[in-house]
Structure 1
Amino acid sequence: MPLRVGYVPEHFLTPLMQFHDADQGKTFVPVCCPSGTGQLIKALKEDQIDIAIALTDPLLAGLAKGETCYKLCGSYVSSSLNWAVSTGAKSPYNSIADLKGTPVGISRIGSGSQTMACVMALQQGWVGEDGKITPIEFKVCDDFKGLRDSVNDGSTSCFMWEWFTTKPYRDSGEVRFIGSVPTPWPSWMIASSTDAQRAPAPDVSDFLTKLTGYVKEFDSPEGRKQKDVDYLMKSHGYPEEDIRAWLETVKYVGDCAEIKGEVLINTLDVLEQTGFIQRPAGGFVVESLINEDVARLV
Structure 2
Amino acid sequence: MVLRVGYVREHFSTPLLQLQDADQDRTFSLVECPSGTGQLISRLTNDEIDLAIALTDPLISGIANGSTAYKLCGSYVSTPLNWAVITGTNTKFNDISDLKGTTIGISRLGSGSQTMAYVMAMQQGWPTDDLKFKINNDIHGLIDSVNDGTTSAFMWEWFTTKPWVDDGKARFIGSVPTPWPSWLIAAHPTRASSEALRAFMTSLSEYVRAFDSASNREGPNVEVIKTKFGYPEEDIKAWLKTVGYPENCLMIPSEVITNTLSTLEKAGVVKAPEGGFDVQQFITKDVVNLT
Structure 1 match to 2:92: 92
2:85, 2:173 within 8 Å by CA — same for their partners in 1? yes
Helix, strand or coil for the counterpart of 2:218? helix
Give how far 1:24 is off. 4.0
- Residues 1:105 and 2:100 are matched in the alignment: no
Structure 2 distance, partners of 1:199, 1:54, is 17
Structure 2 distance, partners of 1:84, 1:259, is 26
Give how far 1:101 is off. 0.2
Structure 2 match to 1:193: 188
Structure 2 distance, partners of 1:237, 1:259, is 32
Structure 2 match to 1:277: 270
Structure 2 match to 1:247: 240
Correspondence list, 1:1-298, <5 A? 1-24=1-24, 26-127=26-127, 133-195=128-190, 198-298=191-291
> TM-score, normalising length from structure 2?
0.99
> TM-score, normalising length from structure 1?
0.97
Structure 2 distance, partners of 1:4, 1:73, is 15
Runs of 4+, deviation exceeding 6 Å: none
Structure 2 distance, partners of 1:259, 1:287, is 12
Name the amino acid aligned to 2:267.
Answer: T
In the alignment of these two chains, the number of paired residues is 291
1:2, 1:25 within 8 Å by CA — same for their partners in 2? no
2:129, 2:268 within 8 Å by CA — same for their partners in 1? no
Name the amino acid aligned to 1:223.
Answer: N
Structure 2 distance, partners of 1:201, 1:39, is 24
Give how far 1:282 is off. 1.6
Structure 2 distance, partners of 1:118, 1:278, is 14
Name the amino acid aligned to 1:67.
Answer: S
Give RMSD over aligned pairs: 0.7
Structure 2 distance, partners of 1:226, 1:29, is 28
Give how far 1:84 is off. 0.4
Give how far 1:134 is off. 4.1
Structure 2 distance, partners of 1:234, 1:276, is 38
Helix, strand or coil for the counterpart of 1:185? coil
Name the amino acid aligned to 2:77.
Answer: V
Give how far 1:274 is off. 0.5
Residues 248-291 of structure 1: CA deviation (Å, up to 9, x unaligned): 00000110000111110000000000001101112010011100
Tell me: CA distance 1:25–1:163, structure 2 relative to 1, closer, same or farther (3 Å). Answer: farther
Residues 197-252 of structure 1: CA deviation (Å, up to 9, x unaligned): x2100000000100000000000011111111000000000011000000000000
Structure 1 distance, partners of 2:88, 2:24, is 41
1:79, 1:252 within 8 Å by CA — same for their partners in 2? yes
Structure 1 distance, partners of 2:29, 2:212, is 23
1:126, 1:134 within 8 Å by CA — same for their partners in 2? no
Give how far 1:25 is off. 5.7
Name the amino acid aligned to 1:249.
Answer: T
Name the amino acid aligned to 2:285.
Answer: E
Gaps of 5+ in 2: none
Give % identity: 59
Structure 2 distance, partners of 1:41, 1:220, is 31
Structure 2 distance, partners of 1:297, 1:254, is 14
Structure 2 distance, partners of 1:191, 1:282, is 25
Structure 1 distance, partners of 2:6, 2:101, is 34
